[in-house]
Homo-oligomer: A and B are copies of this chain.
């Protein structure tokens, strides 16, 4: 019976209908009729504390979103098997023709933490998690070889390095590389601090992460109450 569907989700859906969806109703109708045309793809983490539509206060139709553990993009490879993230990338770039791809990392990433804790035995974290987070190995190697971040916080440094590696991997896809060269597509790195709500953007020249330049202030918790 459907009535074992979580009560709090039903309640949330009720709030969505009476509040959330109001300002978007017409847009939704239009999007249903004419289809989606997002110009931005966001690759972020499954973490319940990181919601791209929330961070960018985006409405229906604005962001094509992939969410996987630790916001990783595998490098291009032609082997068989299902490559979910690569499929989403192909769909975003070749079918939807997005203009921007944002890889958004975040603080306290459990996937990154699991990798750091089990660097010498990744499968100890679970066969699937382990094989997945091994995608961070090149990031760790690159970071160890020439660290460009303050390394007194290895978790943060690895979160940054993971974003950089995913950006590198994105460029290994022929259909991405072509558009990067023609300037029709741009790749961006970002990092979200789940506690303070601070967003940092990666400088593509220096590779460093800097606070997103906005006039809006991060409200202190007190003020927010």
Using CB atoms and an 8 Å cutoff, list the residues of chain A in contact with chain B: 1-6, 9-23, 25-26, 28-29, 31-33, 35-36, 38-41, 46-49, 51, 53-58, 60-69, 72, 74, 78-92, 94-95, 100, 102, 107-108, 110-111, 114-117, 119-120, 125-129, 131-135, 137-147, 151, 154, 157-158, 161, 168, 186, 188, 190, 193-197, 199, 201-205, 210, 212-219, 221, 224-225
- On whether the beta carbons of A22 and B224 are closer than 8 Å, the reply is yes
What's the least CB distance linking A224 to chain B, in Å?
Answer: 3
Q: Which residues of B contact A18 (CB under 8 A)?
A: 216-217
- On whether the beta carbons of B68 and A25 are closer than 8 Å, the reply is no
What's the least CB distance linking A192 to chain B, in Å?
Answer: 9
- On whether the beta carbons of B102 and A9 are closer than 8 Å, the reply is yes
- On whether the beta carbons of A3 and B213 are closer than 8 Å, the reply is yes
- What is the total number of copies of this protein in its complex? 4
Pairs A-B, 4 closest by C-beta atoms: A32-B195, A25-B224, A87-B132, A140-B144
- On whether the beta carbons of B60 and A194 are closer than 8 Å, the reply is yes
- On whether the beta carbons of A17 and B51 are closer than 8 Å, the reply is no
Q: Which residues of B contact A17 (CB under 8 A)?
A: 197, 214, 216-219
A-B contact pairs, 30 of them (CB 8 A): A9-B102, A10-B212, A12-B58, A13-B199, A14-B215, A17-B197, A17-B214, A25-B221, A28-B194, A28-B195, A29-B195, A33-B195, A41-B46, A46-B92, A47-B64, A48-B60, A53-B53, A53-B54, A65-B67, A66-B67, A82-B83, A82-B131, A83-B132, A87-B131, A95-B126, A115-B145, A120-B141, A120-B142, A139-B144, A140-B140
Question: Which residue of chain B lies nearest to A116 when distances are taken between CB atoms in the complex?
Answer: B145
What is the CA–CA distance of A100 and B6 in the complex, to the nearest angstrom? 8
What is the CA–CA distance of A154 and B140 in the complex, to the nearest angstrom? 13
Residue among B39, B72, B84, B107 making CB contact with A69, cutoff 8 Å: B84
What's the least CB distance linking A193 to chain B, in Å?
Answer: 8
Q: Which residues of B contact A126 (CB under 8 A)?
A: 87, 90-91, 94-95
What is the CA–CA distance of A212 and B137 in the complex, to the nearest angstrom? 34
